[in-house]
Structure 1
Amino acid sequence: MRFAFFQTGRSASSEETRTIEVAVQAGEAWLDTAALDLDFELRPETLLALGAAEHAAIAHAARRSHATVDLATVTLLPPVAPTARIFCVGLNYADHADESAMARPAHPVIFLRTLDSFVGADAPLVKPRASDAFDYEGEMVAVLGSGGRRIAPSDAARHIAAYTICNEGSVRDYQLERGPQWTMGKNFAASGALGPWLVTADEVPLLGKGLAIETRINGERLQAANTDQMIFDLPAIIAYLSEAFVLRAGDVIVSGTPSGVGFARKPPRFMQVGDQVEVAIAGLGTLRNTVVAED
């Protein structure tokens, strides 16, 4: 099952607070879940905790609904709850650590991003005025449906509700030359993207294993890897995070990028204004954004 989060009307960058709406895919169509005949409320904050019975009820109601949504005419949002905590993993592919001239980590390298540093699919990625080193990073994302503390790796799968795609959009001069400062370099407003939708875990290979991932700029393939190449798989990441954090439903895990990033190329290749950037992951879809200049 696939769910997209969207808003209608003015741009999602507006300071006006508006309701986040949810669409569900039914065949080739997308349906507004607000119009479905359900005996439970379907909101971004509660969607990830739904079980098989609720998913079956949604599918049944969708077969009788004609309340379609044209995703091309709405503003797609990052498909995560407004309260989501976004945990990111650095240097999680050996070849990326090598190209970065950094040691392969013995433990997951964790940092946090804010939700307002991300846009949804088809929204503009904003190249900061302060930098000419705006880099791409294609990554698989897992979203938790339940939380806990000290989660064993063997229990990790039951905590994952869905998957999506990330282009992390790193500002390398702030990240690497001024520190390193990962929090600064990874949190410029609207510098990353999440989307285009959530794919529930039952439609994805267990623990997101074996998925081909590519990043393209203007059609040129710059990253190509497989999620099997991660140093730390999702069970290891979830177990490690839950040593410190009380994880909760809705938490987001951005699992790391493979080699091929722009700053490691000779010469460097960074995202420029007008570039169309795509991250494609098998079974999850394609996240597409165009780079614009900061106002």
Structure 2
Amino acid sequence: MKFSRLGRPGKEKPCILDANGTWRNLSGLIDDISGEALEPDALSRIGAADLASLPAIHNVDRYAPAVAGVGKFICIGLNYARHAAESGMDLPKEPVMFMKATSSIIGANDQVVIPRNSKKSDWEVELGVVIGRPAKHVSEAEALDHVAGYLVVNDLSEREFQLERGGQWVKGKSCDTFGPIGPWLVTKDEIPDPQALGLWLEVNGKRYQESNTSDMVFGVAHLISYLSDFMTLQPGDIISTGTPFGVGLGLDPPVYLKEGDVMELGIDGLGQQRQEVVAWQDA
């Protein structure tokens, strides 16, 4: 199943894509694409519904964030070997974990705002994993049973804030608009192997990132198991699993985002995003 949240800010409707490629409004069945609606029993009820009886949405004016009410936005750093090398960092012996503020989340095609005083805003295409069942101390063998589905994440980063301002990475990762997710949430039954997905990113039509999730240092199942030893993962939580080689920081010379740039990115089976970059405007 493919779920999305369609509509302008404050007017988003939970939707499902039917077999004919038409979006259907799920508001009569669930409140939103979040929390309890992502648990296995709820997904089964939605899957058994007569989608043809639900209101059709023919004009999509906006793909809102594909998951609402995200509790935790957990990110994994340096999870592709060539990206670790381009960042000048050693390959980690254990997953590098950091948090991204949920206030950074925007829709897949919403504008990205360069933060005030930013000189080094950067891009990162990543596979996002959405949790569907609580996970605490789960084994790697059981880990994927706790997944509701997958989506595209652009883990935008301000490299000066992240690496040159002291403290932890979160300050360079959490700027407003630095977390586009979607356009869809694709349930795990449609993605039989999360370690076999091509992913790519372009800026102004130039391809900078192109790789496959098979190149991850730590796979999705390992990450879920590992994280669940430190905290309980809850339905609606998102794990962003790391980015491949080709970020602006790693180029010679580095290339960073500027006003007017357009990012396009995608992952096999999970759709594409497109964001125009705009400058910060003081209120």
Match of 2:249 in 1: 263
Match of 1:24 in 2: 16
Q: Which whole-Å CA distance do the structure 1 matches of 2:162 and 2:58 have between them?
A: 39
The aligned length equals 278
Q: Which whole-Å CA distance do the structure 2 matches of 1:151 and 1:19 have between them?
A: 37
- For residues 225-264 of structure 1, the aligned pairs below 5 Å read 225-264=211-250
Match of 1:148 in 2: 135
Alpha-carbon shift at residue 21 of structure 1 (Å): 1.8
- For residues 121-160 of structure 1, the aligned pairs below 5 Å read 121-160=108-147
Q: Do residues 34 (structure 1) and 24 (structure 2) align?
A: no
Q: Which whole-Å CA distance do the structure 2 matches of 1:281 and 1:190 have between them?
A: 20
Query: Which of 31, 35, 38 is matched with 1:48 structurally?
Result: 38
Match of 1:164 in 2: 151
Please say if residues 211 and 228 of structure 1, whose CA atoms lie closer than 8 Å, have aligned partners that are also in contact. Answer: yes
Which runs of at least 4 in structure 1 moved beyond 6 Å after TM superposition?
A: none
- Determine helix, strand or coil for the equivalent of 1:196: coil
Letter in 1 for 2:38: L
Letter in 1 for 2:166: G
Task: Give the number of the structure whose residues are more often helix, by fraction.
Answer: 1
Letter in 2 for 1:157: L
Match of 1:63 in 2: 52
Please say if residues 20 and 44 of structure 1, whose CA atoms lie closer than 8 Å, have aligned partners that are also in contact. Answer: no
Q: Which whole-Å CA distance do the structure 2 matches of 1:182 and 1:280 have between them?
A: 24
Alpha-carbon shift at residue 270 of structure 1 (Å): 1.2
Match of 1:15 in 2: none
Match of 2:3 in 1: 3
Letter in 1 for 2:47: A
- Determine helix, strand or coil for the equivalent of 2:48: helix
Q: Do residues 210 (structure 1) and 196 (structure 2) align?
A: yes
Alpha-carbon shift at residue 240 of structure 1 (Å): 1.1
Give % identity.
35
Letter in 2 for 1:47: A
Would the alpha carbon gap of residues 137 and 239 (structure 1) be closer, same or farther in structure 2, given more than 3 Å must change? same
Q: Do residues 282 (structure 1) and 261 (structure 2) align?
A: no
Q: Which whole-Å CA distance do the structure 1 matches of 2:274 and 2:70 have between them?
A: 24
Structure 1 window deviating more from structure 2 (191-200 vs 152-161): it is 191-200
Q: Which whole-Å CA distance do the structure 2 matches of 1:130 and 1:287 have between them?
A: 26
Alpha-carbon shift at residue 66 of structure 1 (Å): 4.5
Q: Which whole-Å CA distance do the structure 2 matches of 1:153 and 1:173 have between them?
A: 35
Alpha-carbon RMSD: 1.6
Q: Which whole-Å CA distance do the structure 2 matches of 1:209 and 1:70 have between them?
A: 34
Structure 1 window deviating more from structure 2 (44-53 vs 228-237): it is 44-53
Q: Do residues 109 (structure 1) and 99 (structure 2) align?
A: no
Q: Which whole-Å CA distance do the structure 2 matches of 1:69 and 1:129 have between them?
A: 38
Unaligned runs of at least 5 residues, structure 1: 13-17
Alpha-carbon shift at residue 67 of structure 1 (Å): 2.5
Q: Which whole-Å CA distance do the structure 2 matches of 1:144 and 1:69 have between them?
A: 29
Alpha-carbon shift at residue 34 of structure 1 (Å): 2.0
Cα deviation, 1:75-118, whole Å, max 9, x if unaligned, reads: 43221231421110000001100111101000000011112112
Alpha-carbon shift at residue 231 of structure 1 (Å): 0.3
Please say if residues 174 and 180 of structure 1, whose CA atoms lie closer than 8 Å, have aligned partners that are also in contact. Answer: no
Letter in 1 for 2:188: A
Q: Which whole-Å CA distance do the structure 2 matches of 1:83 and 1:19 have between them?
A: 18
Q: Which whole-Å CA distance do the structure 2 matches of 1:92 and 1:247 have between them?
A: 20
Letter in 2 for 1:29: T
Q: Which whole-Å CA distance do the structure 2 matches of 1:65 and 1:187 have between them?
A: 37
TM-score (normalizing by structure 1): 0.89
Cα deviation, 1:238-281, whole Å, max 9, x if unaligned, reads: 11111110111111100000010001101111111111101110
TM-score (normalizing by structure 2): 0.93
Alpha-carbon shift at residue 69 of structure 1 (Å): 4.4
